[in-house]
């Protein structure tokens, strides 16, 4: 097993006892990237010189009180829509191919305070619009379990880099399932925090009322450690919630006796692959054996979630992406004769097909005469979906079901069928519309590909999500399986 696949606490112990150097961790990360990333293609850019220089300085602090943080010296990968001071940030778009930020996202300040190391920027669907990483403006990331298959999206590079053992953890963003679905496909742990739990300052916006940054890791414990470093109120983000950050590690007791679990019948019904359904039922039996209780419930408005989501997210994207016009930053079309043509040519050349598709849909939904019929109605449906979650979570501690209706699909299989691709997020989208926290943890395999178990709870009760996920993980042990590249 690679040193980067060991738990944070195990690595920290070796660092503190001077059995391991930070520079050796960095060496292991870049060595693994050199070994497998030509197959996986998780990274868009590397931060090698800066990471090695920082590691050399950190080696001098080993064995002192300065190494007490459990993220100290850990190699991390950052999704390329999270701005990093001095490190190119493209959102996987040709339009931002030359964008070098001059400030950090708030989450990067949190990681720097914890002295984690940034190894590089990770591939994604362009501007986070996609479910397979095939919409990257540069190249497609591949699933480490089978490189003929997609890693999921839009945080496909973030999930694949952890699964491939290239980094200890990564940060992704989740607008409609973009952390949890690739975590499921790649067999890692991925959390979408409560909306407002983690600052969005410095996240290149796709849909501002839905976007949320979260961690991807090998274990639930490691995930809780990363969230503890990036969560909290930020005055620079007007949607950041002024709610205290819990001690997430204290919830990892392994005890779920008496926990009440709701299982929506819609999450195990039509469209969910039989193997996925069976893995989830097996997981529920594991939790039942540990003393939890589960009952079937209904989330009746979930059937409308995909339609409402794509209207709302595309409408917000239409507004957010208006800033990319070739004037202030990013690539500018050089052959235009006037300002209007420069706008048109820059956006035509810079945006990919999926981004253009969503801008057009969003602009239409917001246009005069159609706003009430589409955007306003979608907002009403969103309220009904949130009310469904509120009512269920009044009676139950968590909601459990599959993260995705199927395992990963082959590269190229759905790329020309946008509606089929959109439906792939049917089980994750309602969580974003409701603004509640949810995690995906590995729960077995189907034909050699990982299956993810999704656990959902009340707003700002990430501790409850972690408690259930950790108890299941430790009993089932699926997190120990690793791909062979």
Enumerate the active-site residues: 79, 154, 178
* Number of other CB atoms surrounding residue 452 within 10 Å: 32
What CA–CA distance (Å, rounded) separates 113 from 347? 37
Q: Radius of gyration over alpha carbons of the chain, in Å? A: 21
State the SS3 of 226-287: HHHHHECCCCCCCCCCCCCCCCHHHHCCCCCCCCEEEEEHHHHCCCCCHHHHHHHHHHHHHH
d(CA 212, CA 396): 24
3-state percent breakdown (helix, strand, coil) of the chain, nearest 5: 45, 15, 40
Rounded Cα distance, 198 and 185, in Å: 24
CB neighbours of residue 125 within 10 Å: 32
Cα distances from 455 to residues 452, 462, 469, in angstroms, run 10, 10, 7
Q: Which candidate, 102, 79, 358, 308, places its Cα nearest to that of 198?
A: 79
The CA distance from 42 to 222, in Å, is 21
How is residue 169 annotated by DSSP? Answer: E
Q: Identify whether the C-beta of residue 454 lies closer than 8 Å to the C-beta of residue 302.
A: no
Q: Is the bond preceding residue 58 a cis peptide, omega within 30 degrees?
A: no
Contacts of 99 (CB under 8 A, 6+ apart): 88, 89, 90, 329, 330
Residue 415 to residues 60, 137, 375, 419, 463, Cα–Cα distance (Å): 49, 14, 26, 10, 37
Could you give the angle at the alpha carbon of 363 between the alpha carbons of 361 and 367, nearest 5°? 120
**Distance between CA atoms of 344 and 346, rounded to whole angstroms?**
6
Q: What is the 3-state secondary structure (H, E, C) of 402-452?
A: ECCCCCCCECCCCCCCHHHHHHCCCCCHHHHHHCCCEEEEEEEEECCEEEE
């Amino acid at each position: 097993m690679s040193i980067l696949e060991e738990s944070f606490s195990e690595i920290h112990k070796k660092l503190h006892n001077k059995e391991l150097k930070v520079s050796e961790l960095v060496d292991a990360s870049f060595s693994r990237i050199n070994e497998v990333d030509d197959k996986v293609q998780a990274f868009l850019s590397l931060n090698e010189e800066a990471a090695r220089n920082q590691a050399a300085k950190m080696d001098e602090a080993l064995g002192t009180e300065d190494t007490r943080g459990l993220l100290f010296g850990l190699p991390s990968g950052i999704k390329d829509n999270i701005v990093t001071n001095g490190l190119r940030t493209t959102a996987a778009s040709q339009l931002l191919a030359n964008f070098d930020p001059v400030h950090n996202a708030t989450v990067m300040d949190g990681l720097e305070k914890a002295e984690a190391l940034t190894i590089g920027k990770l591939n994604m669907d362009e501007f986070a619009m996609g479910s397979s990483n095939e919409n990257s403006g540069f190249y497609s990331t591949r699933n480490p379990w089978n490189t003929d298959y997609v890693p999921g999206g839009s945080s496909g590079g973030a999930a694949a880099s952890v699964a491939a053992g290239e980094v200890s953890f990564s940060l992704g963003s989740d607008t409609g399932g973009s952390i949890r679905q690739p975590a499921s496909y790649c067999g890692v742990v991925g959390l979408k925090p409560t909306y407002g739990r983690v600052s969005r300052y410095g996240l290149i916006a796709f849909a501002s009322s839905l976007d949320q940054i979260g961690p991807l890791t090998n274990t639930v414990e490691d995930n809780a450690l990363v969230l503890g470093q990036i969560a909290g109120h930020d005055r620079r983000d007007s949607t950041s919630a002024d709610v205290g950050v819990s001690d997430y590690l204290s919830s990892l007791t392994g005890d779920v006796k008496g926990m009440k679990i709701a299982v929506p019948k819609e999450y195990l019904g039509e469209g969910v692959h039989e193997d996925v359904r069976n893995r989830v039922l097996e997981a529920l039996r594991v939790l039942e054996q540990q003393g939890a209780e589960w009952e079937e419930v209904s989330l009746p408005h979930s059937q409308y979630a995909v339609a409402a989501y794509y209207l709302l997210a595309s409408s917000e994207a239409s507004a957010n992406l208006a800033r990319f016009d070739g004037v202030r930053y990013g690539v500018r079309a050089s052959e235009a004769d006037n300002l209007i043509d420069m706008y048109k040519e820059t956006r035509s050349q810079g945006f990919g097909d999926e981004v253009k598709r969503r801008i057009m849909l969003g602009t239409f939904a917001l246009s005069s005469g159609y706003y009430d019929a589409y955007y306003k109605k979608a907002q009403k449906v969103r309220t009904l979906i949130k009310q469904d979650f509120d009512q269920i979570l009044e009676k139950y501690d968590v909601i459990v079901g599959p993260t995705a209706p199927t395992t990963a699909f082959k590269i190229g299989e759905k790329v020309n069928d946008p509606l089929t691709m959109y439906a792939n997020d049917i089980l994750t989208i309602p969580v974003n519309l409701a603004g509640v926290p949810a995690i995906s943890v590995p729960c077995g395999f189907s034909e050699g590909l990982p299956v993810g178990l999704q656990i959902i709870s009340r707003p700002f009760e990430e501790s409850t999500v972690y408690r259930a996920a950790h108890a299941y993980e430790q009993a089932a042990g699926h997190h120990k399986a690793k791909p062979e590249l």
